[in-house]
């Protein structure tokens, strides 16, 4: 077996960094390791793994303490390999190569790399089992392999969302929150969306609580799956789907409004809370600008009750968004929604929400900086106190400033006067760089320090001051 020196940054490895394919002299892609030019060779065919999985193949999991299940982590690697079209023989060759850390798990579970606790046949059997499980899983939910497939998938979700029944009191906000997810997903062309509830509330222009409830409802209905995060200070990463069982409205009369336009309407500030409301948007988008519709037809198409439709039609009429033809049928008018938002005084609502969240984030960062400064001052003071005491040969301590002598100290007291305390020099640094991650990425923050609790009271007081003058925000 040739030695393999992975180049983590470039994602290339191979025999001394070169392709492992016979006779090839090119730089190698990851994993035993092909340059990518030998797609017909089962030993080298397939795309390179993501960097994360490259690291896990190289280093293995035996030394990792930050993962709950090593077997599931290994399985994720195998899933990735199959999604990258790796052949079974190539997977087996990589996973059982003792140069790769991950091989230790297949040869034995002892933590000794290549310890040889299993026979070749047994190790191969374990690899085969993981490949079989991965294939079954992939068959259940095929991976999206390209940006084009992602765009198509998002189009399907968007179209399904547009045809779905969003009746009920919370239907409008759920539809709006889903539109926000789709908007972010479309910007990144990914079906996975990493977004905190605060970011989501800004995107959908709804309150944080509303966003949270809507996410739960969308999860329960099958529109969203939480892929990671959502706990321990991590923002969640969601995957978007068309629900397996979808309730579709009886009639959908969306004319002249494309599906993306419907989503844009749902997110417009004219249809926010205290504006015309998300329900009004649902009513507006099902109207035709050519053919007049009865209120009953609008109610059926929007999934809203008749009184609700009537109420919102009145409001929409007031702002010049709908009109009635000679027969009394209701028509959608092409009006400037921005101007409507200005009239409703909701045109800055999203920015105001962002400002409030920004203030919260800023105050939080300042609170953490205060704690760090306080701790540093305490650490310096403790060190200065230690330095004042000089250990003498007879076991006593002399204060070099006052001349005081201390005697009869316990072993612990002596240790404290001689050595820095754990919580002074080894304490985890308080995180002050908590900038908000870009949309589309999971924002990973350090775990909250327990000592932060005392400062939270002060922080909460600062927040109260801000909200007392909230009207100006």
Partner DNA sequence: TTGAACAGAATTCAGGGTTC
Partner DNA sequence: GAACCCTGAATTCTGTTCAA
Using the Cα atoms of residue 264, residue 265, residue 267 and residue 268 in order, give the sign of their dihedral. Answer: positive
Binding track over 254-273 against DNA, x by CB under 7 A: ------------------xx
Could you give the CA distance from residue 420 to residue 403 in angstroms, rounded to a whole number? 23
Nearer CB in complex with DNA: 57/270: 270
**Closer residue to DNA, CB minimum distance, 80 or 346:** 346
Collect all residues with Cβ–Cβ distance below 8 Å to 342 and sequence separation of at least 6. none
Under the binding rule (CB under 7 A), the answer on residue 93 touching DNA is: no
Out of 10, 26, 294, 421, point to the residue binding DNA (CB under 7 A): 294
The mark string for 164-183 relative to DNA (x by CB under 7 A, - otherwise) is ---xxxx-xxx---------
Site for DNA in 234-253 (CB under 7 A): 234-236
Question: Of the two residues 9 and 435, which places its CB atom closer to DNA in the complex?
Answer: 435
199-218: which residues touch DNA (CB under 7 A)?
Answer: 199, 206-210, 212-214
Give the footprint of DNA on residues 102-161 (CB under 7 A). Answer: none
User: Least distance to DNA from the beta carbon of 434, Å?
Assistant: 3
Number of residues in contact with DNA under rule CB under 7 A? 72
Nearest distance, CB of residue 386 and DNA, angstroms: 32
Using only C-alpha atoms, the chain has a radius of gyration, in whole angstroms, of 31
405-406 vs 322-324, strand pairing mode: unpaired
Q: Which is nearer to DNA, 10 or 295 (CB)?
A: 295
Residue 408 interacts with DNA (CB under 7 A): yes or no: no
CB of 391 to DNA, least distance (A): 40
Count of Cβ atoms closer than 10 Å to residue 367 Cβ: 20
Site for DNA in 385-404 (CB under 7 A): none
What does the alpha-carbon distance between residue 12 and residue 32 come to, in Å, rounded to a whole number? 10
Binding segment (CB under 7 A) for DNA, from list 6-14, 16-24, 231-239, 256-264: 231-239
The encoded tokens of residue 335 equal 């009006």
* 436 near DNA, rule: CB under 7 A: yes
Distance in angstroms (rounded) separating the CA atoms of residues 343 and 316: 12
Which residue's CB is nearer to DNA, number 246 or number 434?
A: 434
d(C-alpha 183, C-alpha 199), whole Å: 13
Is residue 329 part of the contact set for DNA (CB under 7 A)?
yes
Task: Choose which of 30, 308, 332, 397 interacts with DNA (CB under 7 A).
Answer: 308
Q: Residue 177 in contact with residue 204, Cβ under 8 Å? A: yes
Please give the residues from 438 up to 467 whose contact with DNA meets the rule CB under 7 A: 443, 445, 447-448, 452-453, 456-457, 460, 463-464, 467
Considering beta carbons, is residue 33 or 313 the nearer one to DNA?
313
Tell me if 66 contacts DNA by CB under 7 A.
no
Closer residue to DNA, CB minimum distance, 217 or 262: 217
For residue 32, what are the contacts with CB-CB under 8 A and spacing of at least 6?
4, 14, 20, 43, 44, 90, 93, 94, 97
Specify whether the CB–CB gap between 314 and 353 falls below 8 A: no
What is the CB-side half-sphere exposure of residue 103 using CA atoms within 13 A?
20
Among 304, 332, 347, 350, binds DNA (CB under 7 A): 304
Q: Tell me the closest approach of the beta carbon of residue 50 to DNA, in angstroms.
A: 23
> Closer to DNA at the Cβ: 1 or 427?
427
Scan residues 183-202 and list those touching DNA (CB under 7 A). Answer: 196-199
Chosen residue from 153, 190, 312, 332 binding DNA by CB under 7 A: 312
Q: By the 8 A CB rule, do 422 and 412 touch?
A: no
Query: To the nearest whole angstrom, how small is the minimum distance from the Cβ of residue 224 to DNA?
Result: 12
Looking at the Cβ atoms of 254 and 437, the one nearer to DNA is: 437
Least distance between DNA and beta carbon 382 (Å) = 26
Site for DNA in 344-383 (CB under 7 A): 353, 356-357, 361, 364-365
Please identify, using beta-carbon distances, which residue of 99 and 357 lies nearer to DNA.
357
Question: What's the closest the beta carbon of residue 226 comes to DNA, in angstroms?
Answer: 8
**Residues near 59 by beta carbon (within 8 Å), at least 6 away in sequence:** 101, 102
């Amino acid at each position: 077996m040739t030695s393999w020196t992975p180049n983590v940054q470039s994602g290339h490895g191979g025999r001394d960094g070169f392709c492992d394919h016979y006779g090839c002299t090119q730089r190698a892609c990851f994993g035993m390791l092909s340059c990518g030019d030998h797609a017909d060779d089962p030993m080298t065919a397939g795309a390179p793994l993501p960097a994360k999985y490259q690291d896990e193949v190289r280093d293995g999991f035996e030394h990792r303490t930050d993962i709950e299940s090593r077997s599931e982590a290994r399985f994720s690697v195998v899933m990735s390999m199959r999604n990258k079209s790796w052949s079974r023989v190539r997977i087996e060759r990589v996973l059982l190569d003792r140069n790769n850390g991950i091989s230790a798990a297949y040869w034995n579970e002892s933590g000794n790399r290549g310890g040889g606790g299993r026979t070749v046949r047994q190790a191969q059997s374990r690899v085969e089992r993981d490949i079989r499980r991965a294939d079954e899983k992939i068959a259940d939910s095929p991976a999206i392999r390209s940006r084009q497939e992602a765009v198509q998938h998002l189009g399907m979700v968007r179209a399904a969302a547009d045809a779905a029944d969003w009746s009920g009191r919370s239907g409008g906000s759920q539809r709006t929150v889903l539109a926000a997810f789709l908007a972010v997903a479309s910007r990144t062309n990914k079906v996975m969306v990493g977004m905190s509830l605060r970011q989501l509330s800004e995107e959908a222009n709804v309150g944080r609580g509303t966003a949270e409830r809507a996410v739960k409802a969308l999860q329960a209905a099958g529109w969203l799956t939480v892929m990671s995060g959502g706990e321990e200070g991590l923002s969640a990463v969601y995957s978007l789907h068309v629900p397996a069982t979808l309730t579709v409205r009886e009639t959908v009369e969306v004319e002249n409004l494309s599906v993306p336009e419907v989503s844009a309407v749902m997110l417009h500030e004219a249809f926010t809370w205290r504006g015309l409301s998300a329900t009004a948007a649902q009513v507006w988008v099902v109207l035709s600008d050519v053919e007049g519709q009865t209120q009953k037809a609008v109610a059926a198409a929007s999934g809203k009750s008749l009184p609700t439709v009537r109420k919102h039609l009145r409001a929409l009429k007031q702002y010049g968004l709908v009109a009635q033809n000679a027969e009394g049928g209701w028509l959608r008018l092409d009006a400037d929604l921005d101007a409507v938002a200005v009239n409703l005084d909701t045109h800055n609502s999203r920015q105001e929400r962002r400002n409030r969240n920004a203030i919260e984030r800023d105050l939080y960062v300042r609170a953490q900086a205060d704690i760090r400064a306080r701790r540093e001052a305490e650490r310096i003071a403790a060190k200065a106190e230690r330095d004042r005491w000089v250990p003498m040969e007879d076991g006593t301590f002399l204060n070099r400033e006052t001349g005081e002598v201390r005697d009869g100290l316990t072993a612990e007291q002596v240790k404290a006067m001689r050595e820095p305390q754990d919580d002074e020099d080894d304490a985890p640094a308080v995180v002050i760089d908590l900038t908000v991650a870009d949309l589309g990425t999971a924002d990973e923050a350090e775990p909250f320090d327990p000592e932060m609790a005392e400062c939270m009271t002060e922080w909460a007081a600062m927040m109260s001051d801000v909200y007392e003058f909230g009207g100006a925000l």
